[in-house]
Amino acid sequence: MSKCESCIIRRLNQLNSLNKEEIIRISKCKKHIKINKGQKLFNEGENLKGIYCVQDGFGRLSKLCENGKEQIVRFIVKGSLIGQRSLISDEPTNLSATASEDMFVCFIPKEEIINDLMQNPKFNISMFKELADNLKNSDNFILDITNKPLKQRFSEALLYLQTIFGSDHDGMIDVSLNRSDYANFLGIRTESLIRVISTFKKNKIISTKGKKIKIENYNALKNLM
């Protein structure tokens, strides 16, 4: 288990605003946890006892709809810090976090955050900026799934995934998602997603290899947005 002061992951989130002494204290109290693929990190409605820093792997934050379907709100990737909103508001979390592949996370207890780290103004500003960004993205997400045409939403989703996951050695978006994952992220039926993927492939905008997608024509994709 790596020490926080030597962990490069903390540079990707709000923990990069902490001083050396604060980082050392976190290193002493954190817990390193493996979350197996498909396992819940936490459930909607749960009272969290701390926050989680994703060291490796990726997962998803989602909400269970009234019809029983999962609505993916956003993906959590290496460097993500999750659980802050519930911690600060002292309310049950409104989302579930699930590992889409094996994940390794570091758990930082609530007491350490509230009683110590939040005395650091830089950490507070960074934390609230992240929450504000998430709120803005949630507003945009609601607008997208209720008003924008499917082709535009799918185009934006591909560029979003390309940005957060990057490309593998074959130029494919470096994440393996089921078609149902894409459909749950876009708030549509899987059959509708399959049709739009087929159209994009026919027009040579994308290509596929197993569960992965490669953007072949960025200009055509952006013109649909």
Q: Judge whether 158 and 213 are in contact, CB under 8 Å.
A: yes
Fold of 148-223: Arc Repressor Mutant, subunit A (1.10.10)
Strand partners, 74: 61
Higher pLDDT, 153 or 141: 153
Measured CA to CA in angstroms, residue 207 lies from 60, 76, 169, 198, 210 at distances of: 24, 25, 15, 9, 10
3-state secondary structure (DSSP) of residue 71 = strand
Domain ranges of the chain: 4-145, 148-223
Each residue of 72-130: pLDDT tens digit? 988 998 888 888 887 777 888 889 999 999 999 989 888 777 666 667 777 767 777 77
CATH class of 4-145: mainly beta
So what's the pLDDT on residue 100?
93
Q: Looking at the predicted structure, is the pLDDT value of residue 3 above 80? A: no
Task: Concatenate the DSSP letters of all residues of 149-206 into one string.
Answer: -HHHHHHHHHHHHHHHH-B-TTSSBS----HHHHHHHHTS-HHHHHHHHHHHHHTTSE
Give the residue with greater pLDDT, 84 vs 8.
84
Whether the Cβ atoms of residue 117 and residue 50 lie closer than 8 Å to each other: no
Q: What is the structure's pLDDT at 65?
A: 80
Residue 11 has pLDDT above 70, yes or no: no
Does the structure show a pLDDT above 80 at 155?
yes
CB 214, CB 159: distance < 8 Å: no
Q: How confident is the model at residue 191 (pLDDT cuts 50, 70, 90)?
A: very high
